Amino acid sequence: MMKNIIKKPLFLSALLFTSLLSGNAAAEVIKVGTMGTYEPFSYQNEQGQLAGYDLDVLREVAKRDPSLQFEFIASPWDTLFPGLDADRFQVLAQQLTSNPDRLRRYSLTDNRYFTCVSQIIVKAGRNDINSLQDLKGKKIGLTVGDSFTRLLEDWNKQHDNILNIVYYEQDISTILQDIATGRIDATVNDPIMAQNKAAKQGLKISVVGERLAADPTFFVVKKDTAGLALKQRIDTALLSLREDGTLSRLSVEHFGVDYTK
């Protein structure tokens, strides 16, 4: 009888141990929406795999929290937030900054992972544009719905709508092409990304004037129970990455400068 009593707890302990191992091994797959055309933050490398700074940060997050496994899905800009709403994605990684509408509808991580700079971009050789005031009466191309567009729209309202904004549904590739051909005069965007994209396209551009803004970027989730729980897990890992210098190291590896502060 004693023999059987001892065996049963041992058997139950073994079952529990196996169950714990299985639970740890089965990481939760989190689908991440990203453009995949926004080099060097999110793009397809030569092997056809999604790469870039934003994605590398989440890969480091997964190392800190092995229960998370991220699946990156390339999707056009205008499908990212609808995809999050429809649960096609659980998180967005696309150099997203904070604005009132996003804060009302979604939840952003408490911890930033980059500082996005906004500057004027023109065709190389132009010396007549160095500020937004210099763009009075000229055409400035902007992508519908992004943070740079909101920045310029707000500025324009405060300055008697002196800017002639041309809206694009496409990504910045088309805008840069139109700057090079003279169809439009300028755009405002992140200079790192714009210079990288222009080099790939064989276009010559210049970044001019002072910084118009420098805004922290965040990962974005739905404002529901599951989204807030995911946000907390990502934030815990991001804080660890910041404290031990991993975020700074990633920024320097990608850009040569620490843009995480």
- Residues 183 and 207: their CA atoms lie apart, in Å, by 18
- DSSP structure class, residue 130: S
Is the pTM higher than 0.85? The answer reads: no
Domains of the chain by start residue, with CATH:
2-115+217-255 (3.40.190.10), 116-214 (3.40.190.10)
Predicted local confidence at residue 24, as pLDDT: 46
At 260 the three-state DSSP class reads coil
Q: Which amino acid is at 208?
A: V
Identify which of 90, 70, 66 has the alpha carbon closest to the alpha carbon of residue 80.
Answer: 90
User: Angle at Cα 231 formed by Cα 34 and Cα 261, nearest 5°?
Assistant: 75
pLDDT in tens, the chain (261 residues): 333 433 444 443 444 333 333 444 467 899 999 999 999 999 999 999 999 999 999 999 999 999 999 999 999 999 999 999 999 999 999 999 999 999 999 999 999 999 999 999 999 999 999 999 999 999 999 999 888 999 999 999 999 999 999 999 978 999 999 999 999 999 999 999 999 999 999 999 999 999 999 999 999 999 999 999 999 999 999 999 999 999 999 999 999 889 998
Coil, strand, or helix at residue 143?
strand
